[in-house]
Structure 1
């Protein structure tokens, strides 16, 4: 990297850190800190929902899969799009209408207090492990670009992300997610353009014609390496997994930010569109790397990755094609992806600890100021645990980041969310249905990974020969996921036969369903000041930063390289101008002050 690249990274980190300081004034209590007081507009919520499903893993672990198997990896992200579209049609508004600050408060009202504590303490280690995977992914990327030793990189990057994540709560997270989404998408488009140009020896049009012709056979024909039965089961399992990890009560937190039901639905639709379009852009570079560099081990910068050299496929093509100064922007885009996932995860986990354990169990009568301070302290504590987890993941032998993420999701995360999907479909269930379904699902995971004979599965799906070594990870993934979904669902539905129609839990469940059927409608008179504040503040961040990126066109580069900066920065400036125009259309009387609260009304329909 050049001095220009280092300067770009330094300015970016200062810019993102300033967001936390700017939005601290928006936090008046723990509800503001952990969900923006339920006042955030749809385009901010949509950006947070999109970026919370996104991390540097996309550019390392998933890019590795794209390098080796091509378009197959896109199924995961299309599955995200399907999940968010289903949320738009069905779940997003219902989640917002729970009218809670954290997902666990909704679980308490649906299943009872014992389940609140059970799911709280099961989720915390799951959330920490996910964040550890994301941190490991971005550290792997930074290790290659900066030439740093991996352990040191994990610690340094983890501390940087922790500092940014713990500053301004959910308001800062939503704002930074929006800015980082703009940075990520603009730079991703540029890198995809340059990658195709590299395939065409500098000509984009030539690269387009050569790209599909020179791709390895399995990049477009998924059955070239894996047998069709395995491919179909893997695709089905991947789509189901992504749906499950979006449309469940635990992951409802992204929609709790929205100022009303309508904004929650629009946020889900925005995320769906981004996930349908994004994979086409993100995975062109690693697939181009498969054409240009069939053996990545020959690239000196990737030597630090050892046996996991394919995790550096995206980095390889970027380092070879990007103009001076833009590598720094690429680093900021990768930082953006992981910081968005980690800060959202840390905020959610800290909020759950505070609102569902510290407040109801330890300090019921504490002040909101104490809750805010404890929330920040807990965020820092969990951030340190994430760093330790990322270091442990690096020691796991024989598994790439893609395999670690997919297997963990299918064996641990899916058992956790299955009862939380059925909980918003089935109206009544006994109090023990939630926690018992999780335990049954975890036992199924142990059985499928340790005791289920692969030969039994092979014969069941009609394969003529044993699983090949390259099919092992796919077999473990789809077997554990499908068994978990089927067995855990049957268990939950079976428990509903024992649900009582009277008693305290039945009354709480009836109240829960009555509330979720009533739309949250923000009072436009009460919300316009806060709406304008969001639009104005974000426009004031977009326009200066986009202008800075455009000014990088003065860095010595060929004309094409200079135009890359103009395009990337211009996208951000245009969005800033649109936001400023929208803010000016909101007229606020001089006597009206920003209250920080949106008055909610309930539809009588």
Structure 2
């Protein structure tokens, strides 16, 4: 990267911090800090959830799979989209109808305090720790682009580039500051702006990298057999089915996504948020997997995990490479800030409930901020330790083996009258045991490998590792809950507590007067961001005359969109003023 690229990245980071402080004034209580007061527009919630699923790990893991295996990477990611559409149809609206402000409040009502404690401590710390892996992935990418002089105090002696550990520390500090300053409103709004930066960056790379190919026919002929298949030996169709089910459970029951369905005004908005995630994740993989796919024909023998960023570096001019790095920063910051906010809220609820100390709103906010800082330290710890295990392997193992046993009971309890606390514990215990046996018992060097009776299973698992991981991680928790559901013959007391709370909340909501105020700040910031990027593209056009048409075209489109959005904002302000005057 050149000096102008570093300037772009620094401006971006400062901009995110400034925006987070703009929303700090909206934090009047814990509900504002962790649920945006239930007033987030559906499109902001949806884009924020979409960005929560994105990270630099998306570029490292899925970009690497696209480079190595081909179109199967698109198929895997489209499973997210199908899962989100199903969640929109069946789950998202139910969460908003539940009448709770957070997933932990629902668990308290439905299953009691012990499971809230366990989920908050175990799942919260595990989630934050694993998010550190995304910080590491981004740090690895950035560091690879910053060579330093021999003996420089910021350099890694082994590579001569910026130290990954130092870069991880800097990124963790930025993420904590965003979540600390503005709460969920800051997280939501920075997510939207990050989506704009990411989309522009990826869309710009696509025509440039395709222009480097001699011809489509030549590209097709260069690729190995099976490169254009939607399944491979490592990722067969049963893996895709299991991956879809796994992500349906995650999108429907993970706390970060539940928060997105709760921070909107009504159940219809919650559904629309999930539908937006689905549409984005069906369309976007087709576009943003093109760079690593095409780069395979240009540079066939590189580290697959670095394929995406090297493809960008190959075609982007100075300044725009900085924009791409800002996009990757955006994706990772979105995931990390969201999870910090969710679990800082959960720990705040626990502290206030059991210590009875949060006597006013200011105390709640500061407890939440302290929790954010502590969790930020866990985030950094994950960024430093996960590389020792192997980032890609760690992410796949955690997602396929541990998430469903943790998440599925929450989702099941939203609909089932029969399951109780025992069902939750049994699901987690059996799920963890099954995963442990699979990983450490039925592997080729596992503790069960010496028994001949297990030999056929071990051989099959060794040939179908990822499929086995997904099905054990999904099937065992599901079967456990299904058996308990069938054996139970009475309604659990927690269900009645939940229903009573739900009815009381709906009764109070029915007495509220509808608000006429329309928040135009998010749209104004979005339009401003698009216009600033357009200016940057025009400036870049003066230095890269070979791609001037593409740069000017992108700048023109962004400028028109910015003007249209600002005019819409102006009309909304006038409409709001008229309605307020009438009332």
TM-score computed with the length of structure 1 as normaliser: 0.85
Moved more, 487-496 or 345-354: 487-496
TM alignment of 1:211-360, pairs within 5 A = 211-221=219-229, 226=233, 231-248=236-253, 250=255, 251-296=257-302, 309-355=303-349, 357-360=350-353
1: CA distance between counterparts of 2:396 and 2:133? 11
* CA drift at 1:186: 1.3
2:481 is equivalent to residue 482 of structure 1: no
The 1:573/1:139 distance shift into structure 2, 3 A limit, reads same
Counterparts in 2 of 1:295 and 1:533: CA distance versus 1, 3 Å:
closer
Matches of 2:116 and 2:489 in 1, distance apart? 20
Alignment of 1:404 with 2:394, yes or no, is yes
- Whole-angstrom CA distance in 2 between matches of 1:589 and 1:257: 25
**1:484-503 mapped onto 2 (5 Å cutoff):** 484-497=473-486, 499=488, 501=490
The counterpart of 1:374, out of the listed 367, 377, 387, is 367
Q: Secondary structure at the match of 1:429?
A: coil
Asked whether the 8 Å contact 2:71–2:228 carries over to 1, the reply is yes
Trace 1:158-237 onto structure 2 (pairs within 5 A): 158-200=172-214, 206=215, 208-221=216-229, 226=233, 231-237=236-242
Unaligned runs of 5+ in 1: 201-205, 297-308, 594-605
2:416: which partner in 1? 426
Following superposition, the deviation at residue 507 of structure 1 comes to: 2.2
Looking at structure 2, the residues matched to 555 and 110 of structure 1 have their Cα atoms a distance apart, in angstroms, of: 61
Q: Is the 8 A contact 2:319 2:540 kept in 1?
A: no
Call closer, same or farther: CA 1:403–1:218 in 2, change over 3 Å: farther
Aligned residue for 2:381?
388
Give the equivalent residue in structure 1 for 2:16: 16
1:581 to 567, 571, 574: 567
1:445-481 Cα distance to aligned partner (Å, 9 max, x none):
1111122367978957xxxx946xxx85x73332233
Aligned residue-pair number: 557
**Alignment deviations for residues 271-311 of structure 1 (CA, whole Å, 9 cap, x no partner):** 11110111111211111221111111xxxxxxxxxxxx321
SS at structure 2 position matched to 1:60: helix
Q: 2:116 is matched with which residue?
A: 116
For 1:83 and 1:517, how far apart are their aligned partners in 2? 29
Once the two structures are TM-superposed, the CA of residue 110 in structure 1 deviates from its matched residue by 2.0
In structure 2, the CA distance between the partners of 1:190 and 1:532, relative to structure 1 (3 Å rule), is closer
For residues 26-52 of structure 1, what are the alpha-carbon distances to aligned partners after superposition, in whole Å with 9 as ceiling and x for unaligned? 221111111111100011111111001
1:313-357 Cα distance to aligned partner (Å, 9 max, x none): 1111111111221111110010011011111111111111112x1
Q: Map 1:29-44 onto structure 2 (within 5 A).
A: 29-44=29-44
Distance 2:287 2:568 in 1: 29
Partner of 1:303: none
Secondary structure in 2 matching 1:259: coil
Find the aligned partners of 1:425 and 1:457 in 2 and give their Cα distance.
Answer: 38
How many Å apart are 1:256 and its aligned residue? 1.2
How much has 1:112 moved relative to structure 2? 2.1
Alignment TM-score, normalising by the size of structure 2: 0.88
In structure 2, do the counterparts of structure 1 residues 218 and 517 end up closer, same or farther at CA, with 3 Å as the change threshold? farther
SS at match of 1:448: helix
Q: Displacement of 1:500 after TM fit?
A: 6.9
Find the counterpart in structure 2 of residue 558 from structure 1. Answer: 545
Decide which moves more: 102-111 or 231-240.
Answer: 231-240
CA distance in 2, matches of 1:26, 1:568: 34
Contact 1:92 1:268 in 2 (8 A): yes
Deviates more, 1:544-553 or 1:121-130: 544-553
Contact 1:542 1:575 in 2 (8 A): no
Contact 1:135-1:158 within 8 A present in 2 as well: yes
Question: What is the alpha-carbon distance in structure 1 between the residues aligned to residue 481 and residue 500 of structure 2?
Answer: 21
Instruction: Give 5+ residue unaligned stretches, structure 2.
Output: 148-161
CA gap 1:333/1:502 in 2 versus in 1, 3 angstroms = closer
Q: Distance in 1 between matches of 2:472 and 2:505?
A: 31
Structure-1 residue corresponding to 2:155: none
